[in-house]
Each structure stands twice: as C-alpha cells, then as structure tokens.
Amino acid sequence: MRLPLRPTVPHRCFNHPDRPALAICVDCRKPLCQGCSTLWEGIHCCVDCLAKRRATAGERSGGLRLVFLTVATLALLAVATILRSWIGAALAEVL
Ligand SMILES: [Zn+2]
Ligand SMILES: [Zn+2]
C-alpha cells in the first residue's frame, strides 16, 4: 500500500466532484477548483468566504471614510479660523 504524499489535501473540488481541486479556501478549508477559487489579496477564498471578507472590508473602509470626514472638517475649521484672524488683522490695518 502506497501512502499519499499529502493526505490532508483532498483532490476534488467541494462543489464539483468531477473537477480537480487546485486550491483550498483559507477560511473554511474547502477544496476548490479553478472556477470556484478566487484569489483575493493574495489568498484563495471560496465564494461564501469571499462575500464575508468583502463585507468586512467594506466596514473597514466605511470607518476610514468617517475618520477622513472628521479630519477634513477639522481642517476646514482651522482654515476658517486662520482666515478670520487674517481678515481681522487686515481690517484693523485699514481702519
Ligand atoms: Zn471558504
Ligand atoms: Zn468547483
């Protein structure tokens, strides 16, 4: 009896038993064929886990947008303050 080299790696796609598995989903460890595996940010994912990862990534970018908006508002306030004092100084010079 010959032992397989990689006994933990299944050789058939989880969704397509007739297709050879070329990758394993990093999240759920399902064997995936070329059609089922998606390379996302350098890792192989099945469709289900890809959707979950995309939702998480969307939340992350939403948080970043909030930070950006806060910084932009603060910057605008700073510019307005500087402008007001500058205009005030210019007016004091004129009067
Ligand atoms: Zn998966
Ligand atoms: Zn497949």
Q: Is residue 18 part of a domain?
A: no
The secondary structure of 67-84 as a DSSP string is HHHHHHHHHHHHHHHHHH
Tell me how far the alpha carbon of residue 15 lies from the centroid of ligand 2, in angstroms: 5
pLDDT value at 8 more than 70: no
Q: How many CB atoms lie within 10 A of CB 39?
A: 10
3 state DSSP class of 51: helix
pLDDT of residue 58: 75
Tell me how far the alpha carbon of residue 55 lies from the centroid of ligand 2, in angstroms: 23
Q: Is residue 9 part of a domain?
A: no
Q: Which domain holds residue 90?
A: 23-94
CA dihedral for 48, 54, 60, 66, sign (positive or negative): negative
Q: Is residue 17 part of a domain?
A: no
Q: Is residue 2 part of a domain?
A: no
Tell me how far the alpha carbon of residue 59 lies from the centroid of ligand 1, in angstroms: 20
Q: Is residue 8 part of a domain?
A: no
Average pLDDT rounded to a whole number, residues 2-28: 81
| Stated pTM of the model | 0.51
pLDDT value at 9 more than 90: no
Q: Write out pLDDT tens, residues 33-79.
A: 999 999 988 899 999 999 998 888 877 777 778 888 999 999 999 99
Q: What is the DSSP letter of 8?
A: T
What is the distance between the alpha carbons of residues 35 and 17, in angstroms, rounded to a whole number?
13
If one counts the domains in the chain, the total is: 1
